[in-house]
Amino acid sequence: MSCQRAEDLVHPYVDGELDILQAAEVERHLDQCEDCNQAYRNQITLRSSFKDTSLYYRAPQDLQWRISSSLQRKVKAEVPPNSFRWAWVILAASLPAGLFLIGVLLKVVPVIRRPASDEVLVQEIVSDHIRSLQMNNHLTDVLSSDQHTVKPWFNGKIDFSPPVNDFASEDFRLYGGRLEYVNNKAAATLIYQRRLHYINLYIWPAEQMQTAVGIATQRQGYNLLHWTDKGMNFWAVSDLSSAELGDFARLIQQAK
């Protein structure tokens, strides 16, 4: 892949819009070209900066009332009084039809229940999973199947203690761990191996303590499973089948 081609694809790659073959091709080029890799990191930094809440300004609560009042005064000054009466008559006559149309659309058009921010997070996790498998020396920062080696490695790198367990007896062997930044947060990432397949398990503190059941989804040929437990967010992603990934999630949830 040429640098020009990589430059054209880096934006859709960051947005998770490429298929798995194109994404893998871009990642191989990024692994080999420092200039393009720097351009990619710049895009990641720029996208993360837009999530910074300090960039947003919350308007005063009375701003809406003041704008509304100002517009009403201006309209009343420019439109004859009779126009308002006719406008209310037309609005009253059209309201039932409008409500009927809205009801029909809600039944016919599928409602997208997952917020856009969740979709961005899913794409970010899938992209990171693919990158960890494709780029040299990116899968692990600490390579060990010993949970007493992997867990202490995170000390001082994150402000929480991730649960680390080995499930080699169930054919989910602890492979190692690494530190990632997901959804603009530091995430402890545990890597498990089942046969020739790898699972990336991303863990970071949840905003609420209650346990939430798993939500399964699929992107670019990879299965993902998300749940919260004991005040932690868990995201597991792998090319294993959804059933096998579900078995892995149950082992994590049942571990002490």
| Paired tokens of 59 | 């308007």
Q: State residue 62's pLDDT score.
A: 65
How far apart are alpha carbons 145 and 168 in whole angstroms?
9
Q: CA triplet 43, 44, 47: central angle to 5 degrees?
A: 85
**Closest to 201 (Cα-Cα) out of 155, 116, 149, 132:** 132
Which pLDDT score, from 0 to 100, does residue 205 have? 94
Cβ atoms of 150 and 190 closer than 8 Å = yes
Q: Percentage helix, strand, coil, to 5, in the chain?
A: 50, 25, 25
Residue corresponding to tokens 């007896």 = 169
Q: Report the pLDDT value the prediction gives residue 112, as an integer from 0 to 100.
A: 40
- Provide φ and ψ at 197, rounded to 5°: -105, 145
H or E segment at 127?
Answer: helix 116-134
The reported pLDDT for the residue numbered 24 is 78
Query: In this structure, what are the phi and psi dihedrals at residue 4, rounded to the nearest 5 degrees?
Result: -65, -45
Distance in angstroms (rounded) separating the CA atoms of residues 248 and 200: 11
- Model pTM above 0.85: no
Among 197, 181, 183, 204, residue whose Cα is nearest residue 245:
197
pLDDT of amino acid 43: 76
Q: Which residues of the chain fall short of a pLDDT of 50?
A: 104-106, 108-115
The pLDDT of residue 135 = 81
Which H or E run contains 32? helix 20-32
Amino acid (1-letter code) at residue 186: A
Q: What angle in degrees, to the nearest 10, is found between the helix axes of 20-32 and 116-134?
A: 60
